A and B are shown apart, each in its own frame.
Chain A
C-alpha cells in the first residue's frame, strides 16, 4: 500500500471512531451539553483537556518554530505549560466549586453585574473565534498535503465532522471524542520522534537523546568520527553557517520574560480551557485533572524541542554543500536526500541557485523576498511540468515583482517552511508509509479536538450567557438546548468560512487572543476568588483598561505599522498582555478600594467557593 492509501485508511478509521463515540455519548440535557453532566473522571478530563489544548499548531508547528528559533522558542514551551500551574493552583478548583457552566457565568455572578457578564461574553466569543479559524485552516491543510484534496474540501469535511459531534454530543460528546483524539495524536507524535532519536543519538527516549552524544546510524555519519554531543554539534553548525547560536537567546531578556508571562497567564485565562474544569464531579478532581492534563501535555511539549534539535541538526548536515543533481556529484560529494525533492514538490522547500554551482548553500539570512512580504516561494510551474525545471532538475522560481526577488547580499539559497520539521520526520527517519498516515491522522485529531472545544464555548456563550442569563431568562431547558445546538451549528459554519477565507494575519490574531485573555479574564477571575473586597466597579474598570491598553498596543504595532523603536521597554506586542494584566490588576484594586464593598451575599459566595465541601450540589441550583 502506498502513503496515500495508508493515510486514507488510518484517517477513515479514526473518523469512524470519533463518530461512533459521538453517537454513544449524545447530550440529553443542558447540563450534559455544557459540562458533560459534571461526570467526567479526572484522568479522562486530563486527556480531553490536553487534546483540547494542543492544536494543529502545537502538533505540526511548534517543533518547527523551535527548530528555527532555538532558545527563543522556549517561550512557547514554558508559556503554554506554565499556565497550567496557575490554572491548577489559582483558578480551577474554585471555579469547579462555584459550579455553573461558563466563565461569563462566574464573572457575571461574582460581580453582580450584567455589564461584566456581557464584557466577558464578548471576550470569550472573540478569543474563541480567533483560535478556531486557525484550526479549520489546519484541517484543510492536512487534507490537502496528505490526501491531495483541495484545502476548501478539506475544511468542509472537517466542518461536517465537527458539526456532527459538537452539535449532537455537546460537551459530553466532545470530551469522550477528545480522549480518543489525544491517544491518536500522542501516538502519532511519539512514534516518529522515538525513531529519529534512535537514528541520531542511539537513545529511544527523545528527552534523554536530546542531551546525549551523536550516535546511531545517522548520528555517527553526522559526527564523522568525532565524539560530540548533539547540541554542541548543532551550535557548531550554526556558527559555521552564520546562524545565531541555537542554545542562546537573541531576543531581549525582558521581552522573553513578558512573552512567557503573557502566554502563561493567557493560557490560564482561555475560556475553552477553563470550561473543562467544570466537567469533573468534585473540586479535588478539578485539581488532579489539571495535573493529568499538564502531564499529558508535557509528554508532547518535552518531546517537541528534542525533535526540533534532531531535525535541525539533520537538516543542516544533509544540506551542507550538498549537490542537488546526483548525476553531477563527484566522488565524496554529499547529495541532497530524497525527502528534499518530495517536499520541494509540495512547495515547502525552494532552492534558488544564486551562484550557479549546483550545490545548496544554506546560511543565515533570507534567500529571497516577495512583494507581499511573506517571502514564500512562487514557482514557475506546477511540480508535474518539466518545463519549470532548472539545469539540475530543481523547481524554478518565478523571478520579478510578481514572484520572488533574490537577496543578493545573503549567501543563503534555501527556503524551508517550518512545518516541514514534523511532517518530514517520518521520511527523514526512513519510516514505513503507515507512519506518515498516522502523522496525518494525528494532525487532524489535534486540529479537530481544539476546534470542537472552541465551538462549544461560542455556542455556550450565546445560548447560555446571552440568551438564558441576559436576554430571555424565562426560556425552558429544551429551548435552551435547541438554542445551544443552533448556535453551535452557526459557529461551525462561520468557522468553516474563516478557514476557507483566512484573514492574512492569523499569527498576529493569536497573539491578540492571548493578550486579551491575559489582560481581561485572568485578573477578573483571580481577584474574584482571592479578594473579597474586589467589587463590580473595580473589576469592570480593570477589564476595560486592561483590554484597551492591550488592544491599542497590539493594533498599533501589528496593524498600523508603528515603529519598533517605540516599543514600551522593548516589549513586543506578543508580550504586552502581561503589562495589560498588571494594568488590569492595578486599576481593579485601586477602584475597588475607593468604591463600596460587594454586598454581603457576594462575600459569602467567595467564602463558599474557597472550601471544597458541597461542590456536588453546586451546579444544580443554577439551571
Chain B
C-alpha cells in the first residue's frame, strides 16, 4: 500500500529530477508542503501499523514466540497478535490526531470553530 501513498508525488507534472515545482503561487506551495508533511506522517505511521500487526503478530510471530514478554506468561508473538497490536493501533491513531492538528495550525489550514459549538440540528436548517 505504501507505494500507492507515494504515487501521488508522480501525479504532479512529469517533472524531471530536481525540476522546479511548476504550479506557481505561494498558496499552492504552502498547501503542497502541508500535503507532503501529511504523507510523510501517514507513511511513517502505517509502517508502524504494519510492523505491530503483520510483522510482530504474523510474519515474525513464530520467532518471537520463543521469547516471553517480561514479567508475564505471554509469548511475544502471541501477545502482539491478540493484545499488543490493538493497543498500538489506538496509540497510532491518537498520535496522528495530535500531529495533524498541529500541522493544520502550522500551515494555516485548520478549521474555524463551528458556529453552534456542534449542537445537533444547527446545520440541518441550512438544507
Contacts and interface: CB of A to CB of B under 8 A. Distances in A.
| A and B from one complex | yes
Interface in A27-72: 28-32, 36-41, 66, 71
Nearest to B48: A85
Given A247-B78, A301-B86, A612-B104, A253 B120 contact: no
Interface string B1-16: 0001101101110000
A321 interface: no
B112 to A, nearest CB: 7
Given A256-B58, A281-B114, A90 B86 contact: no
A531 B39 CA distance: 12
A283 B65 contact: no
B46 to A, nearest CB: 7
A295 B38 CA distance: 23
A290 interface: yes
B83 A613 contact: no
Contacts of A294: 89-90, 93
A253 B54 contact: no
Interface string B73-115: 1110011011101110110111011001100100001111011
Contacts of B79: 211
Contacts of B61: 71, 249
Nearest to B103: A612
Interface string A210-244: 11110000000000000001111000000000000
A616 B114 contact: yes
Contact of A613 (B7, B101, B109): B109
Contacts of B116: 39
A160 B54 CA distance: 43
A249 B62 CA distance: 8
Given A231-B75, A247-B75, A620 B90 contact: no
Chain A interface size range: 35 or more
Contacts of A288: 97
A585 B4 contact: yes
Nearest to A232: B73
Nearest to A74: B81
B119 to A, nearest CB: 6
Size bracket of the B interface: 35 or more
Contacts of A611: 31, 34-35, 109
A333 interface: no
Interface string A502-539: 00000000000000000000000011001111000000
Nearest to A288: B97
B123 A283 contact: no
A291 B97 contact: yes
Interface string A231-267: 1100000000000000111000100110011001000
A73 B83 CA distance: 12
B24 interface: no
B125 A287 contact: no
Contact of A284 (B53, B73, B82, B104): B104
Interface stretch (A76-84, A367-375, A544-552): A76-84
A212 B116 CA distance: 50
Interface in A356-376: none
Contact of A28 (B81, B122, B124): B124
A261 B97 contact: no
Contact of B87 (A25, A89, A90, A298): A298
Contacts of A186: none
A36, A71, A84, A280: which has the most chain B beta carbons within 10 Å?
A71
Nearest to B81: A74
Interface string A80-99: 01101110111001000000
Nearest to A280: B118
A386 interface: no
Contacts of A211: 69, 72-74, 79
Contact of B11 (A212, A291, A533, A620): A533
B72 A212 contact: yes
A260 B53 contact: yes
A468 interface: no
Given A230-B73, A533-B11, A81 B89 contact: yes
A55 B76 CA distance: 29
A38 B100 contact: no
Interface string A5-43: 000000000000000000001001111100011111100
Given A231-B75, A612-B104, A39 B93 contact: no
A616 B93 contact: no
Contacts of B121: 28, 32, 37, 39, 172
A78 B85 contact: yes
B43 to A, nearest CB: 9
B123 to A, nearest CB: 5
A95 to B, nearest CB: 15
Contact of A247 (B11, B65, B111): B65
B93 A89 contact: yes
A477 interface: yes
A615 B111 contact: yes
Given A283-B111, A284-B110, A78 B100 contact: no
A616 B115 contact: yes
A211 B69 CA distance: 9
Nearest to A73: B82
Q: Which 10 A-B pairs have the closest CB atoms?
A: A229-B73, A211-B72, A74-B81, A37-B124, A39-B120, A305-B82, A291-B93, A211-B74, A611-B109, A281-B118
11 contacts: A29-B127, A71-B82, A211-B72, A230-B73, A247-B75, A248-B62, A257-B54, A261-B54, A530-B5, A531-B8, A607-B31
Interface of A: 25, 28-32, 36-41, 66, 71, 73-74, 77-78, 81-82, 84-86, 88-90, 93, 172, 207-208, 210-213, 229-232, 247-249, 253, 256-257, 260-261, 264, 280-285, 287-288, 290-291, 294-295, 298, 301-302, 305, 477, 526-527, 530-533, 585, 589, 607, 610-616, 619-620, 623
